[in-house]
Each structure stands twice: as structure tokens, then as C-alpha cells.
Amino acid sequence: MILILKSKMAFVLFSLFSISLTTNASEIIWPNNAKLAVNLSYDDALNSQLDNAIPVLNKYNIHGSFFLTLSNSTVQTRLEEWRQIAKDGHELGNHTIFHPCRKNEEGRSWVPEHRNLDTTSNQAIWEEVRMANAILFSIDGKTKRTYTPPCGDIVTDNGNYVEALQDDFVAIKWQNKYGKIYDKVYMPHGVSGQQLIEYVKGQQAKGGAVTFIFHGIGGDHLSVSTEAHRQLVAYLASHKEQYWTDSYINIMSYVAEFNKK
């Protein structure tokens, strides 16, 4: 009996979950009736992004999102280029100043002790994130911003730190305020162009929005080859009736406006 009840409960929960997913996905109408919104993001302010990603995005007339770690050297050495890509319509997003991550997680021996989120207070990370917004303002003059938590980590020594930052941002990756269907994140590295395209095709039927988080393009860390990246961008550019590809802030601002109606 208990078993039957349990399985009934599971069925009801499963049904509710399915319905809510379907409702969310079908409720939104993307520009030009596209089936899926796609955002191409690039984290950490890397040289290879300016060298190998930007020329391809500009060639195919697609706007991406660059989440700058502001202490990275390129922010000083190539400041004018970052400023220029913002003028060209790409997004400069907040990825903190010093990229703090949880050192206690597996595979995180590379995290310096003084940038260990596990021993950082919420107050300290809030100050860092808000200061990063101020620095970004000095680069591109924008007051609206989105945020990608470094390493996807959202917990400090005092618990969840991003909830208190919701009003500072249009959206926060992994924690956006509009629902799970807009929170799908894929972090590829070492994959082919065909694999990147297959991922997009697979997401199309599910609808909503998907964000690619790239790091190095044809160099640097966690990289995807320049050619694989180019194939994905070319595919998205030639299938605009199916995919609305734009910056994360444009997609999430659209969701916010749509939800108000």
C-alpha cells in the first residue's frame, strides 16, 4: 500500500513537473517565432576570445556575451578592444574581480586560499561583485548588467550569496528569477563543431533558452577549437528562423518584459 501511494505520489509530482516545464516553454514567444533562444557566452576575459571568437561573431553578425574577470591582465592590456566590442553590440558581463570559487569542491586545488569562496563572507563577495559593476560601468557606460558566478558556485561561508544580488542584475546564470527553462547552461570544451550543433538541435524541441559558456577559443584553458566554434556560429547564423541568438542580457531582458504582459 505504502509502495502504491509512493508511486502515485511520484506520478503526480512527475506530472506536475512535466506540465510546469511545458507551460513555461510554450508560454514565451520569441522574436520572429524562433523555437529556441541561444546565448553564446565567453568567461574570464581571455586573449583567445578577442583573437579568435570576436572576428567570427562579427563576420556572422551575431552578438555574444563576455563575462570579464576584471583582474585578468587583458582588461588592462586590451582595454580599448573590450570597450570597442561593447560599442559593437556585444555584452560585457560581470564575472567578479578576482574569480573566487569553492576550494573544498573536487578538482579545485588551483583555487588560491585568499580567493576561496568557502572561507569568504557574503558581505565580502557582495562588495566585490558590486565593485565589478562599477568598473564595468567605467568601461562601457552601461548601468544594466548580468552576472555569471565564477565556477557556478553560489554558496559562501554564510550560505547562498546570489539571492541578495537579484535586484542588482537583469539575470544571474543558474539562479535567474524567470524559471528553469531559461537557465540551461552548457559548458563545452574539446568538442567538435558537429557536437556543438547537435546540442543546439537537441535543445530546440524543448524550447526556452540555452547558454553556451565558452572559455578559450583556439587557445587558453577549457578551449574549443576556432573551427568548431566557427561552425556553430555559422550554423546559428544560417538558421535564424529557428534560433534567436543574442546576448544574455538581451534575451533575459526580453523574458522580463514578456513576463510583465
Applying CB under 5 A, which residues contact Zn ion? 43-44, 150
Q: Cβ of residue 237: shortest distance to Zn ion, in angstroms? A: 26
Nearer to Zn ion, 21 or 151 (CB): 151
118 contact partners, CB below 8 Å, separation of at least 6? 102, 103, 104, 156, 157
Q: Cβ of residue 47: shortest distance to Zn ion, in angstroms? A: 15
How far is it, in rounded angstroms, from Cα 98 to Cα 115? 7
Residue nearest to Zn ion (CB): 43
The 8-class DSSP code of residue 168 comes to: G
Nearer to Zn ion, 52 or 96 (CB): 96
Q: Cβ of residue 92: shortest distance to Zn ion, in angstroms? A: 14
How far is it, in rounded angstroms, from Cα 216 to Cα 37? 23
Q: Cβ of residue 173: shortest distance to Zn ion, in angstroms? A: 11
How far is it, in rounded angstroms, from Cα 224 to Cα 21? 31
Nearer to Zn ion, 95 or 239 (CB): 95
Residue with cell 544571474: 172
Q: Cβ of residue 129: shortest distance to Zn ion, in angstroms? A: 13
Closest CA to 212 of 75, 108, 62: 62
Q: Cβ of residue 71: shortest distance to Zn ion, in angstroms? A: 12
State the alpha helices, DSSP H only, in the chain: 2-27, 47-48, 54-59, 74-77, 79-87, 122-140, 193-204, 226-237, 248-260
Nearer to Zn ion, 153 or 183 (CB): 153
Q: Cβ of residue 148: shortest distance to Zn ion, in angstroms? A: 7
Q: How many CA atoms lie within 13 A of 100 on its CB side?
A: 24
Nearer to Zn ion, 42 or 235 (CB): 42
Q: How many CB atoms lie within 10 A of CB 232?
A: 27
Nearer to Zn ion, 28 or 117 (CB): 117
239 contact partners, CB below 8 Å, separation of at least 6? none
CB 65 within 8 A of CB 93: yes
Nearer to Zn ion, 10 or 187 (CB): 187
